[in-house]
Structure 1
Amino acid sequence: MNIPKIPLGTWIESLERWLEANLGAVFDLIKTVIGESVGLLETVLTSVPSFAIIVVIAALSWLVGRWKLALFAFAGLWLIDNLGYWDHSMQTLALVITAALLSIVFGVPLGILCARSSVVRGVVMPVLDFMQTMPAFVYLLPAVSFFSLGVVPGVIASVIFAIPPTIRLTSLGIRQVPEDLVEAADAFGSTSTQKLFKLQLPLALPTIMAGINQTIMLSLSMVVIASMIGAQGVGADVYRAVTQAKIGVGFEAGIAIVIMAILLDRLTQNIVRNNKKSG
């Protein structure tokens, strides 16, 4: 007995055409806002002298970490500049920062809703499972359809791929706040908003920051994939090196991505650690 194939692909394509026809203005607005945001960050990061940015980041590393982190930041960023990948690295950093900020802006409130409502959590968590297990390349197809080629679909795909940890750990952190503290806040007549901002979010902040750390790392892992649809930066250098079999160029560009990844990871980890100590 032959069972007819479910036309899932046809349904998806029909939905895509409907969205393009009816929400084109919304997609144009999103494209403009994200494109201008990335462009502004790129302009700031590339117009300031590289040595000034290196010194500022090294000083920030000293403040949130130890002298070893500051030394790594200075040496690593100097190496990126020396190898000639500074401007491309700043383009990549602009993409990652934009994607991470969008993930935080949308992910933290959604995580709070998931913590407060089991119904919302029951709906959102399976969607997050889908987002995390679907191959990242699949996100590029609708992103290109709605936003054409360039950095914007790269940012959108990065957000879809990177936002789940922020939502999950925000929800987890709030739900892990001790029940007796919540009851004490209720006993003192705290409103729901007061409990959230004065009790739950401060106590959950280390867990939330851990989620943000993972989101930043996942955003950075998307830069090479995003380069396949026109996003510029170090990822494009890696992609060109792979297609042209230039091992040396690929290694140099890969080193630049590794340095940025380690630096961003250590900075966010130290911020979490310092918050725990002060708490």
Structure 2
Amino acid sequence: MAVIDLLTTKIPIGNWVEAIVNFIITNFSGVLNDFSNTIRTIINGFEAILSFGHPFLLIGVLALIAWLVKRDIGLVSFVVLGLSLILNLGMWEPLVITMASILTSVFVCLILGIPIGVLKAHSKIVDVITRPLLDFMQTIPPFVYLIPALMFFGLGNVSGVIATVVFAIAPPIRLTYLGIKQVSEELKEAGRAFGCTPFEMLYKVELPAALPSIMMGINQCIMLSLSMVVIAAMIGAGGLGKPVLRSLSTVDIGLGFEAGLGVVVLAIVLDRLFGRD
């Protein structure tokens, strides 16, 4: 009977999580505010850079980057025509906000993710600890991230960026780890033969050899960040997700299609610029 009662009694996991969140808010509000202000400053900085001058200036810069990176006139034409279409549709300001949020999210993901991936590749303990955490972060529904982000940082772009970082940080960690683990022993042995210190082995041998895998992680991070645009709009984040959400609430098919088209164009541009050939 006691066993049946134990099996039928609900484990109060939700209450425990709520208690932890309330404890963090109560005791670490100052740290959370400082972190929020830092993220907001980075977002505003990217927005200021992207908004500098006429929109055609940014279009020209992105077209130039596309040419320098890919040497593909078709991609350059798509960048110019696609972004000009977004400008014509009146979606330029949401596009800039979305790009600033994505750049901030990817910047934070890479600053944290690549070093964690390096540690994960060199430490069995870090690997064991991070593996279930990354599995959890990649499988839990993205909407769940919005609740603690909203409670910790309130409505706005900061909460959206934080939720995006949690959602998108796993690929840089895992693919950095995978790239370093796949570096051949012959290459490492050659580095040791030339007297490389552990740090020199990392940045002269392992990271260059793992660069294709790391770049794939960056590409996936960008795509996952972009996929959070509409979801983050539910907690007050601006950008292209906002008109999509508004069109959903008002059943405005035209507005939803125009905003969705902006997301598609931006996704293709970023994927072609940072994806593998």
What TM-score results when the alignment is normalised by the length of structure 1? 0.95
Equivalence for 1:245: 251
Equivalence for 2:15: 10
Number of aligned positions between the proteins: 271
Equivalence for 1:41: 46
Q: CA deviation at 1:7?
A: 1.0
Q: Deviations 1:86-105 (Å, cap 9, x if unpaired)? A: 01100000000000000000
- Residues 1:132 and 2:138 are matched in the alignment: yes
Question: Which runs of structure 2 are paired with 1:58-77 in the superposition (5 Å)?
Answer: 58-65=63-70, 66-77=72-83
Equivalence for 1:276: none
Q: Deviations 1:152-204 (Å, cap 9, x if unpaired)? A: 01000000000000000000000100011112212322110000000000010
Q: Which secondary structure state, in structure 2, belongs to the residue aligned with residue 149 of structure 1?
A: coil
Q: CA deviation at 1:47?
A: 3.4
Q: Deviations 1:36-85 (Å, cap 9, x if unpaired)? A: 11112112222321011111111111111100100000000000000000
Question: Quick one: which of 151, 155, 175 aligns to 2:181?
Answer: 175
Question: Which runs of structure 2 are paired with 1:1-279 in the superposition (5 Å)?
Answer: 1-3=4-6, 4-65=9-70, 66-269=72-275, 272-273=276-277
Can you give the 5+ residue segments of structure 1 that lack an aligned partner in the other structure? 274-279
Q: Deviations 1:1-31 (Å, cap 9, x if unpaired)? A: 2222111111101101111111111100110
Provide the C-alpha distance between the structure 2 equivalents of 1:125 and 1:112, rounded to a whole number of angstroms: 14
Provide the C-alpha distance between the structure 2 equivalents of 1:233 and 1:79, rounded to a whole number of angstroms: 16
Provide the C-alpha distance between the structure 2 equivalents of 1:116 and 1:138, rounded to a whole number of angstroms: 32
Provide the C-alpha distance between the structure 2 equivalents of 1:189 and 1:152, rounded to a whole number of angstroms: 46
Instruction: Indicate the percent of aligned positions where both proteins have the same amino acid.
Output: 48
Provide the C-alpha distance between the structure 2 equivalents of 1:95 and 1:79, rounded to a whole number of angstroms: 21
Q: Which secondary structure state, in structure 2, belongs to the residue aligned with residue 87 of structure 1?
A: helix
The 4+ residue runs of structure 1 with deviation greater than 3 A are none
Q: CA deviation at 1:106?
A: 0.2
Q: Which secondary structure state, in structure 2, belongs to the residue aligned with residue 145 of structure 1?
A: helix
Q: CA deviation at 1:119?
A: 1.7
